[in-house]
């Protein structure tokens, strides 16, 4: 339990990301002010305080590791932090920018930048846990501020944070949201996606796009059969799977298979 | 004594008015988000008049019914479950006093007298199962009881079945028999209203009704027969508990493993499933806590997490657990099967897994695989060639 003689210290670090997860934290409003009364927030660039080298009890990390400088900075944070909690898809799975892992990113750099030799880029955009030990991973694009707060409360009180691993469907049903797949035939990744968001998209009559990462037992093959039945072409299935959490293994494996089918098919057409 | 009266269609709004005057919040079916759901009913105008449903495995669509009736549909995604066993509620809160001691406070539910219009026979059968579990045990659930005892139920005899309905196979419908206060039989020009309880009779007496004709009664009977005749899904003959016990090792589980999403939708729409999980919330200073329960599914890995281990960690074990419990060990536990034949698990499974078909397959002896002996000896349980599942010994334990 973190009940030292001093107030608990918190830092929120940013790596390759859009800042959206920091904003989700900021958008908490009043609870964040209450938090600031009981802890010292030493580093949180979006909110104001900047002291990246502070020793802290909880370091929240947004963003993926993209450069060698990122990796070095991250190792330092690990040394100075008691608990490391990743927040969001980038920090937890490499993020949208990890789509470059699936492409010839060197060719992109050559094509875009006037002086490509100045670009220090690692081969892949990787999740934080690939570089350092992580104590807890929170998914989402962006992360759910309430969930971050709940985890903070649990860690400060010294008990294991509760993170719901049920599929989005479970949360839809708890909220009595009508299933968009069954009642409308809308493609939805909810059955293979972990809850945490509060099932926001189906409540707004749209399908889930899996921003909270794969459910623990995601049966992506079975869901893909459903997507095929909705008339979705193979390339779109691949795109849906290789999206925000494209590096999460169940999505990556299945997405690559669907990509391979597209390539196979277009190759077949060329020869015919 | 059975009291039957005829309520003309233009007098139907008076049923809602009398219920409201008697102090009830009235809940009824209405169209929302492309489905018929139960919610607060502002007036009869909100009822799904002229709307029907088309259902199949993984399929639910609304369509025009070309009739002026209010109840010309089979069922929607909800039954009574969300009203009695609510999806999420705080059970108690605690506070740390200045001297460091804890004080606990119960959080009783805010239950109000609630009348529900449009309840079906299958829903009432499911309610009886929940009553047995939540009310009639050694420790009745105060939250369930508060809501349950506040219910006034206006049931409807079904005049049509969806393709997913199979209440005739479980013996729970389509005729309303038990657990309601009033039962309606809908005709084009009005309703045969039958009172089943004292308060039902009292309410019926306040309505402007006429004597019911033999023709009207015949028409309700004919509609019930038609609804029953429309059902084509069946359950395997013989004892399902015995047959499922014999099918603990069966290649069909592997087939289900390939199709099942483990999303838990079947359990959430099932009117008798009542698995739950408990979650604590904490104030930032750690001095106040809330303890809530929420719907959980046996398909979630968290559900069977015990002391560092997930029991039934594999996907097919989860489906097997649900199916063998619902149709097998439930009988041992509650004296009847846990299925009331509403068909919701078939319609609301996104990939259309059909319990009646799965049971039929599981109750067939599996064809021996090439080069295999046909017997399914437990000693060979680890042999995946027979479609076995790791950890099979857990089946049926709860």
Reported as half-sphere exposure (CB side, CA atoms, 13 A), residue B48 has a value of 28
| Same-domain status, B306 and B350 | yes
Distance CA A175, CA A148 (A): 21
First-last CA distance in chain A:
68
C-alpha–C-alpha distance, residues B299 and B302, integer Å: 9
Taking CA atoms, what residue in B is nearest to A158? B286
Point out the domain boundary residue: A136, A157, A178.
A157
Final residue before a domain boundary, out of A134, A157, A180: A157
Instruction: Give residue A74's domain range.
Output: 9-157
Same domain, B346 and B201: no
Is residue A169 within 8 A of residue A193, CB to CB? The reply is no
Test A166 with B300 for CB contact under 8 angstroms.
yes
State the residue range of the domain holding B135.
3-85+110-229
Instruction: Answer yes or no: do B266 and B214 share one domain.
Output: no
Given an 8 Å threshold on Cβ–Cβ distance, is A169 in contact with B318? no
The interface residues of chain B toward chain A in range 296-335, judged by CB-CB distance below 8 A, are 296-297, 299-302, 315, 318
pLDDT for B370 equals 59
Contact status, residue B381 vs residue B249, Cβ threshold 8 Å: yes
- Among residues B396, B345, B29, B296, the alpha carbon closest in space to that of B170 is found at B345
**Do residue A107 and residue A196 come from a single domain?**
no
Helix (H, G, I), strand (E, B) or coil at A259: helix
Provide the chain B residues 107-146 that lie in CB contact (below 8 A) with chain A: none
Q: What is the pLDDT of residue B387?
A: 38
- Name beta bridge partners: B39: B28
Determine, for residues B302 and A164 on separate chains, whether the beta-carbon distance falls below 8 Å. yes
B chain contacts of residue A146, beta-carbon cutoff 8 Å = none
Least confident of A101-110, B20-29, B206-215, B239-248: A101-110
**H-run or E-run covering A27:** none
Q: pTM of the full predicted structure?
A: 0.91
- Say if residue A183 is in the same domain as residue A113: no
3-state class (DSSP) for residue B119: strand
| Residue of chain B whose Cα is closest to the Cα of A152 | B284
B125 and B12, same structural domain? yes
Residue A164 has what pLDDT? 82
Q: Which helix (H) or strand (E) holds B327?
A: none
User: Would you say residue B63 has pLDDT above 90?
Assistant: yes
Residue of B nearest to A157 (CA): B286
Q: Which of A156-170, B98-112, B363-377 has the lowest mean pLDDT?
A: B363-377
Give the model confidence (pLDDT) of A192-242 as tens digits.
999 999 999 999 999 999 999 999 889 999 999 999 999 999 999 999 999
Query: Is A243 found in the same domain as A219?
Result: yes
Per-residue pLDDT band for B286 (boundaries 50, 70, 90) equals confident
B142: helix, strand or coil? helix
Mean pLDDT, all residues of chain B: 91
A75 in a structural domain: yes
User: Do the Cβ atoms of A219 and B262 come within 8 Å?
Assistant: yes
What confidence category does residue B375 fall into, taking pLDDT thresholds of 50, 70 and 90?
very low
Q: Tokens for B337? A: 């099967």
Same domain, B127 and B194: yes
Q: Write down which residue in A109, A125, A157 finishes a domain.
A: A157
Q: Hey, are the CB atoms on A170 and B284 less than 8 Å from each other?
A: no
Same domain, B22 and B135: yes
Q: What is the CATH number of the domain that holds A30?
A: 3.40.50.700
Q: What would the mean pLDDT of B132-151 be, rounded to a whole number?
A: 95
Least Cα separation, residue A226 to chain B (angstroms): 6
Interface touch B261/A191, C-beta < 8 Å: yes
Dihedral sign of CA atoms B344, B347, B353, B356 in order: positive
A198 and A65 in one domain? no
Same domain for B213 and B329? no
Check A167 against B261: CB less than 8 A apart. yes
Query: Does A121 map to a domain?
Result: yes
- What tokens appear for B80 in the block? 């009574």
CA distance A1 to A159: 7
Long-range Cβ pairs for the range B92-98 (8 Å, 24+): B92/B290, B92/B291, B93/B288, B93/B289, B93/B290, B93/B291, B94/B288, B94/B289, B94/B291, B95/B287, B95/B288, B95/B289, B96/B286, B96/B287, B96/B288
B370, two tokens: 């090439």
Quick one: pLDDT band at residue B287, thresholds 50, 70, 90? confident
């Amino acid at each position: 339990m973190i009940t030292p003689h001093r107030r608990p210290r918190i830092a929120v670090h940013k790596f390759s990301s859009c800042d959206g997860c920091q904003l989700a934290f900021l958008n908490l409003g009043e609870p964040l002010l209450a938090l600031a009364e009981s802890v010292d927030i030493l580093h949180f660039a979006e909110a104001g305080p900047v002291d990246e080298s502070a020793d802290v009890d909880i370091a929240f990390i947004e963003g993926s590791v993209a450069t060698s400088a990122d990796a070095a900075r991250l190792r330092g944070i690990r040394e100075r932090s008691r608990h490391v909690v990743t927040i969001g898809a980038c920090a937890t799975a490499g993020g949208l920018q990890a789509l470059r892992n699936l492409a010839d990113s060197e060719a992109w750099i050559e094509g875009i930048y006037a002086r490509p030799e100045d670009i220090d880029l690692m081969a892949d955009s990787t999740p934080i846990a690939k570089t350092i030990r992580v104590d807890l991973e929170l998914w989402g694009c962006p992360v759910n501020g309430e969930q971050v707060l709940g985890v903070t409360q649990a860690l400060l009180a010294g008990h294991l944070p509760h993170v719901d691993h049920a599929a989005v469907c479970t949360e839809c049903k708890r909220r009595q949201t009508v299933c968009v797949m069954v009642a409308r035939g809308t493609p939805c990744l909810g059955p293979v996606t972990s809850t945490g968001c509060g099932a926001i998209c189906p409540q707004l009559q749209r399908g889930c796009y899996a921003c909270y990462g794969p459910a623990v037992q995601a049966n992506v093959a079975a869901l893909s059969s459903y997507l095929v039945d909705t008339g979705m072409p193979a390339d779109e299935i691949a795109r849906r799977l290789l999206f925000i959490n494209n590096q999460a293994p169940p999505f990556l494996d299945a997405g690559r298979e669907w990509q391979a089918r597209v390539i196979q098919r277009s190759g077949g057409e060329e020869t015919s | 004594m059975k009291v039957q009266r005829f309520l003309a269609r233009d007098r139907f709004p008076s049923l809602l008015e009398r219920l409201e005057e008697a102090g009830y919040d009235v809940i009824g079916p209405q169209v929302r988000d492309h489905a018929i759901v139960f919610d607060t009913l502002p007036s009869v105008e909100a009822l799904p008049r002229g709307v029907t449903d088309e259902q199949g495995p993984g399929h639910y669509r609304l369509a025009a019914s070309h009739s002026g009736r209010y109840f010309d549909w089979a069922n929607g995604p909800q039954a009574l479950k969300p009203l009695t066993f609510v999806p999420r509620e705080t059970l108690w809160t605690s506070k740390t006093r200045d001297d460091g001691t804890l004080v606990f406070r119960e959080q009783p539910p805010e239950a109000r007298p609630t009348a529900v219009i449009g309840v079906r026979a299958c829903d009432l059968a499911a309610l009886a199962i929940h009553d047995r579990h939540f009310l009639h045990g050694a420790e009745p659930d105060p939250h369930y009881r508060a809501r349950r005892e506040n219910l006034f139920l206006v049931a409807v005899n079904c005049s049509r079945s969806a393709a997913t309905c199979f209440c005739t196979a479980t013996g729970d419908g389509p005729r309303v028999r038990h657990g309601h206060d009033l039962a309606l039989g809908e005709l084009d020009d009005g309703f045969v209203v039958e009172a089943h309880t004292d308060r039902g009779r009292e309410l019926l007496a306040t309505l402007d009704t006429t004597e019911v004709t033999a023709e009207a009664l015949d028409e309700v009977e004919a509609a019930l027969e038609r609804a029953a005749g429309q059902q084509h899904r069946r359950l395997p003959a013989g004892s399902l508990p015995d047959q499922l016990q014999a099918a603990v090792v069966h290649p069909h589980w592997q087939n289900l493993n390939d199709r099942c999403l483990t999303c838990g939708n079947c359990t959430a729409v099932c009117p008798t499933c009542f698995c739950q999980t408990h979650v604590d919330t904490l104030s930032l200073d750690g001095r106040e806590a809330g303890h809530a329960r929420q719907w959980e599914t046996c398909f979630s890995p968290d559900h069977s997490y015990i002391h560092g281990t997930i029991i039934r960690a594999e996907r097919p074990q989860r489906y097997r657990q649900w199916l063998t419990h619902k149709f097998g060990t439930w009988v041992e536990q509650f004296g009847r099967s846990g299925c009331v034949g509403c068909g919701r698990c078939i319609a609301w499974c996104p990939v259309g897994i059909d319990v009646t078909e799965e049971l039929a397959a599981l109750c067939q002896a599996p064809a021996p695989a090439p080069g295999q002996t046909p017997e399914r000896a437990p000693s060979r349980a680890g042999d995946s060639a027979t479609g076995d599942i790791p950890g099979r010994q857990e089946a049926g334990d709860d």
